[in-house]
Amino acid sequence: MTSSTNGNESHADSVIAARSLALSRRGSVVVEVDDLDIRFGVTSLVGPNGSGKSTLLHAVAGLLAPTTGSLRVFGADPRTVRRRVAYVLQAQHAPPHLPVTVRELVALGRAAQRGPFGRLDTTDRALVRDAIERVELGPLANRHLADLSGGQRQRAFVAQGLAQSADLLLLDEPAAGLDLTSSEQIRRLLVEEHAAGRTVVVATHDLADAALSDQVILLAGRVVAAGPPAAVLVREHLAAAYGGRLLDLGGALMLVDDDDHHHDVNVAPDAPDEPALR
Ligand SMILES: Nc1ncnc2c1ncn2[C@@H]1O[C@H](COP(=O)(O)OP(=O)(O)O)[C@@H](O)[C@H]1O
Ligand SMILES: [Mg+2]
């Protein structure tokens, strides 16, 4: 098959394609994206708080319509392909006292694939069990969310996303507030999902984590830079996105974000075009 004849949307291999896109919250435009393609792989969305990461994920999940411009997911209107997309919300934004157990929460992910009247069969139940094992919550499967630590609850939401076996997995800061071991575990899971043929888009605060992905999109109400980590995570782009939050300490860069997390960003003093990390 040849690519679409519509010149505006001819990027046939894009999983997500945005053209002249504007997204609004409460009537004000908060993100503008001229031209962006996200292809098969693991893509990290980075940028300061309020830069539009969650808003963009929301739109890709089909939960927020564009104000202007076009957004296509698998070549279609995002609202029409929701069954192919799993969206893991930022755990802090989920109701903390959902009266469900870990297993029930994860099973809801399968129910979303089945539609409102679908019953879970043995395959669904195996996928639920497997997802819970993969986030290492097996022993806590019958606990209520309210009786979990913040990190455990977050992993339960990740398991819900995994259980959906969707073609596109969206995660909003799945590792926020987790210790290094847990966030490395989540990164490993995302790589496994990609190996299983899925496209993964993950919003993250952690630039060192983003440096491990195939593609990075740096946002600040617009796309400051997009491409391979080594091309995006450089001093020039980071300074444009983070402004005064990027401190230059005699050649070493440090990011002071709104959550009082401090990240060392290792840029060689005389090599502004070097990859900023590791
Ligand atoms: N539900 C909402 N209602 C009103 N404004 C919102 C809402 N969600 C986000 N915003 C605003 O939209 C902008 C982008 O926010 P968001 O997408 O949450 O950024 P990020 O996820 O990068 O922190 C911010 O200015 C934020 O205040
Ligand atoms: Mg957010």
Q: State the distance from the centre of ligand 2 to the C-alpha of 54, rounded, in angstroms.
A: 4
Ligand number nearest to the C-alpha of 48: 1
Over pLDDT 70: what percentage of the chain? 83
Instruction: Confirm whether 2 is domain-assigned.
Output: no
Q: State the distance from the centre of ligand 2 to the C-alpha of 249, rounded, in angstroms.
A: 28
Q: 92 CB less than 6 Å from ligand 1?
A: no
**CA dist., res. 59 & res. 195, Å (int):** 25
Question: Which letter does DSSP use for residue 67 in this model?
Answer: S
- Cβ atoms within 10 Å of 223's Cβ, excluding its own: 23
Helix (H) or strand (E) holding 187: helix 180-195
Probe ligand 1: pick from 26, 29, 54, 93, max atoms within 8 Å of CB?
A: 54
Q: Helix, strand, or coil here: 160?
A: helix
Residue nearest to atom 27 of ligand 1 (CA): 50
Cα dihedral across residues 212, 217, 219, 224: positive or negative: positive
Helix (H) or strand (E) holding 185: helix 180-195
Q: 51 CB less than 6 Å from ligand 1?
A: yes
Q: Helix, strand, or coil here: 213?
A: coil
Which residue range is the domain that position 24 belongs to? 12-265
Atom index in ligand 1 nearest the CA of residue 57 equals 17
Atom index in ligand 1 nearest the CA of residue 49 equals 23
Please report the pLDDT score of residue 7 as a whole number: 41
Instruction: Confirm whether 277 is domain-assigned.
Output: no
Please report the pLDDT score of residue 116 as a whole number: 64
Residue nearest to atom 7 of ligand 1 (CA): 25
Instruction: Confirm whether 183 is domain-assigned.
Output: yes
Please report the pLDDT score of residue 181 as a whole number: 82
Average pLDDT for 184-210: 93
Tens digit of each residue's pLDDT (9 = 90 or more) over 127-174: 999 999 999 999 999 999 989 888 888 899 999 999 999 999 999 999
Please report the pLDDT score of residue 205 as a whole number: 84
Q: 93 CB less than 6 Å from ligand 1?
A: no
**CA dist., res. 20 & res. 208, Å (int):** 30
Would you say the pTM of this structure is higher than 0.85? yes
Average pLDDT for 194-202: 97
Q: Beta strand pairing status for 42-46 and 199-203?
A: parallel
Instruction: Confirm whether 230 is domain-assigned.
Output: yes
Instruction: Confirm whether 69 is domain-assigned.
Output: yes
At 48, the amino acid letter reads: P
Per-residue pLDDT at 107 exceeds 50: yes
Instruction: Confirm whether 278 is domain-assigned.
Output: no
Q: 32 CB less than 6 Å from ligand 1?
A: no
Q: Beta strand pairing status for 14-25 and 28-39?
A: antiparallel
Tens digit of each residue's pLDDT (9 = 90 or more) over 34-74: 999 999 999 999 999 999 999 999 999 999 999 999 999 99
Q: 30 CB less than 6 Å from ligand 1?
A: yes
Instruction: Confirm whether 99 is domain-assigned.
Output: yes
The residue behind tokens 């005699």 is 250
Instruction: Confirm whether 273 is domain-assigned.
Output: no
Please report the pLDDT score of residue 263 as a whole number: 56
Give phi and psi for 8, each to the nearest 5: -70, -25
Atom index in ligand 1 nearest the CA of residue 221 equals 14
Q: 182 CB less than 6 Å from ligand 1?
A: no
CATH code of residue 221: 3.40.50.300
- Give the count of domains, the chain: 1
Task: State the chain's mean pLDDT as an integer.
Answer: 85
**CA dist., res. 235 & res. 223, Å (int):** 16
Per-residue pLDDT at 244 exceeds 80: no
